[in-house]
Copies of this chain bind each other. A is one copy, B any other.
Amino acid sequence: MVLPRAARTQRRTRIQEEKEELILEAALDVFATHGFRGSTIDQIAEVAGMSKPNLLYYFRTKDAMHRALIDRVLYNWLDPLREFDAEGNPVSEIRSYIRRKLEMARDFPRESRLFANEILQGAPHIEDELKGPLKELVDEKAEVIRSWAKAGKIAKCDPYHLIFAIWSTTQHYADFDVQVRGVLGEERSGEGRFEDAARFLEQLFVHGLEIREGGVDAV
């Protein structure tokens, strides 16, 4: 019998696992470069090397594909922030957070662009995640940063905007890759740009957050 994918509660077939994997991989490619509305099922099917109805056998709608993809990617995407450790040394925590985010921009640029597209277009599919789990995680880590500042371990600053700054500067190398490479030119567009970026950003944030000698650190 032909059961719609969603109705099958039993164990998944080997073929199912493989094909769903294949489809999500292709979907990541397509959604990341064209956004949800700009992507077509045919495109994804072609990248995945299968026919459109076949693809729709595994995910019944374009929306279901997108949602499955987001769910799968979102959790891991927040790993670096989750590892941010209240007990650790502030400077090295921030430094390694930057490095890890930059590694993700280098190694998983499609994932970064998937979210960038989604948020840029008003986050119609993940607004709940933003205001729920994401906000809670950021609130928690912002509190950690604030306590560091209060303890005099780093300069006083708005922890939310600090997190935004780390997000934006690092993800820039994934999301705006074409621009970065266009501006740097052919010869500086090798993988070395991530090393240069890491060096610069660590300098910027570490010095920028260093406690100021002589008390007040207002600008």
Interface residues of A (CB under 8 A from B): 33-38, 113, 116-117, 119-123, 127, 130-131, 134-135, 138, 155, 157-158, 160-162, 164-165, 167-169, 171-173, 175-176, 178-180, 182-185, 188, 196-197, 199-210, 212, 217, 219
Contacts and interface: CB of A to CB of B under 8 A. Distances in A.
7 contacts: A35-B120, A116-B176, A119-B176, A123-B182, A164-B169, A164-B180, A204-B208
A130 B169 contact: no
- By Cβ-Cβ distance, the 7 closest A-B pairs, closest first, are A208-B208, A37-B38, A130-B182, A168-B172, A161-B200, A204-B208, A38-B38
Among A37, A117, A119, A182, the one with the most B-chain Cβ atoms within 10 Å of its Cβ is: A182
Given A120-B120, A183-B130, A205-B204, A35 B38 contact: yes
A141 to B, nearest CB: 11
A121 B155 contact: no
Contact of A203 (B117, B138, B208): B208
B209 A176 contact: no
A145 to B, nearest CB: 12
Contacts of A178: 119, 122-123, 127, 130
Given A35-B35, A134-B182, A185-B135, A157 B119 contact: no
B200 A155 contact: no
A38 B167 CA distance: 26
B37 A34 contact: yes
A155 B176 CA distance: 26
A182 B35 contact: no
A158 B123 contact: no
A95 to B, nearest CB: 8
A123 to B, nearest CB: 5
B179 A119 contact: yes
Contacts of A182: 123, 127, 130-131, 134-135
A219 B157 CA distance: 21
